[in-house]
Each structure stands twice: as structure tokens, then as C-alpha cells.
Chain A
Amino acid sequence: MKTLAHVRITPTDTSVNGATVSSASLAGLYREFAGDYPKFFKMDSLCKLGFMAAELCLKNLSADEKENTAVILFNRNGSLVTDRNYQKTIESDNYFPSPALFVYTLANIVTGEIAIRHKIYGETSFYVLDSRDETLMDEIVSDTLLTSSPRYILTGFVEYENEQNYIADIKLVTK
């Protein structure tokens, strides 16, 4: 398995292929490296994180190559932050469920947002693991490359807990 690009985003540092490119927040990264997709601001934080990692990781891939790409992401907490935010809208006497929050109460929405943005038609999967098990993650990705049609896979770990604790560690791989 060959890595074509690697992006790592944390609250204090964003790097591409090992070189720091920014220290901005997620909204700052959007303004710096995207800026043409207002739907970004409607996404929950997990989606924003995955979206920006994908922006940076896929920027050298052509439209045709993107069509032949799969997205396989992992984390430990699923969409827990948004699940809790949504729960707050339904648990009190002030019962006003938020549709905009509800649509993000599934972690695999991240892969969908990325696929929509980049017109990716390959497989998309989001695995919620007990721990960040790199061996298991590599096995899943390798197996997909061997048994499915996509030539490229955007894959990695995307976890958002709060503004001070988040990480996207994403790579673009091929056979």
C-alpha cells in the first residue's frame, strides 16, 4: 500500500505530508484552503474536521481519479458530540428537536459530505472502533484495495471531542 498524501489536523497544527501549513482553527482552515462551500458552516464539528482533511488530502487528485476513490474513516466516539447537542433539544420541557443537528447524529455523514463535495462514487464506510487500532485499520483498507474496484482510498482517523481536543489523521493510499 502506497501513501500518496498525508494530512494531520489538530487544534494547534495542520500539516500536509509532514510540513506545517497552518495553525488556524477549522473555520480558519476553511477560509484559507476552501472558501467556496458555504455548506461547511452548517456541518457539525466532526464533519468540518473530516471535510478540511479531505480538502487538503485530495487537492492533487483529478476529477476522474476522485471518481475511482473510496472513503474509509475511523474513530472511537462516533458522532457523540452532536448526539449530545441534539439530546439537549429533546430532553427538556422546551422540546424543540433541531433537524439541522439531527442529520449529523451519524458519524458516517462525514464520508457522505466528503463524497458529495468531491463527487466520489466509490465505497464509503465509517468504522467506530474500541480504540485507534492501526493494524485493524490497515487490514480493512488493504482488504478493500484488494477486493474492490476503487484505485484510491481516502482513509484515516477522525475524532472530535471539543475545540481543544480533535484530530484528523488522514491519508490517500493506493495499491
Chain B
Amino acid sequence: MDNLILQLKNQIIEVLNLEDMTADDIATDAPLFGEGLGLDSIDALELIVLLEREYGIKLSNPAEGKQIFSSVASIADFVSKNRKK
């Protein structure tokens, strides 16, 4: 799980262009939206694309997104249980 968390942090930094940030700067349990990293709705869409492209996960219920994307830890938990690749 630690490897997946690190991989996710690096992928988030890359796809969201979080320049000047490293994986160490993203707290695993910190909120990604609002406070914390301060991501917005476009970032959320980009994360949905990331899950599909890198892990073969297609979110069937958009309402789940709020919980899944609440932190890196929650994304990692969801990916580990649902990944197709």
C-alpha cells in the first residue's frame, strides 16, 4: 500500500501540474479539496481520468467521488480494491 500511495502522489503531482511540490509535501490523510491541496472541479475530472487511464477503473457512480477523492489514503484504498491493471 505504501508503494501505491507514493505512486498516486507522484501521479497527482504530474497530472495536476503541482509544480514545486514533492510527494513528501502531500499528507496521506489530508483533504485534497477545499483546504489541503485546494483542488477544484477540473482537478476532480482529471483525477477521474487518471484512475481510468492508469488503473482501469471507471467510476460508475459519480456520487462516490466525494468520498473516494477525499484524501490520497482514500484513493489508494479504492484503487487497491478496484484496480483492473
Contacts and interface: CB of A to CB of B under 8 A. Distances in A.
Interface of A: 27, 38, 41-42, 94, 96-100, 103
Contacts, number: 30
A27 B42 contact: no
B46 A98 contact: yes
Interface of B: 15-20, 38, 42-43, 45-46, 49, 52-53
A132 B18 CA distance: 34
A42 B52 contact: no
A38 B49 contact: no
Contact of B49 (A27, A41, A42, A99): A99
Contacts of A41: 17-20
A96 B17 contact: no
A127 B68 CA distance: 42
A99 B18 CA distance: 16
Contacts of B15: 100
Secondary structure dominating the interface of B: helix
21 contacts: A38-B18, A41-B17, A41-B18, A42-B16, A42-B17, A42-B42, A42-B43, A94-B53, A96-B49, A96-B52, A98-B46, A98-B49, A99-B42, A99-B45, A99-B46, A99-B49, A100-B16, A100-B17, A100-B43, A100-B45, A103-B42
B43 to A, nearest CB: 7
Nearest to B52: A96
A98 B42 CA distance: 9
Nearest to B38: A38
Contact of B42 (A38, A94, A97, A100): A100
A39 B46 CA distance: 15
Contacts of B16: 42, 100
Contacts of B43: 42, 100
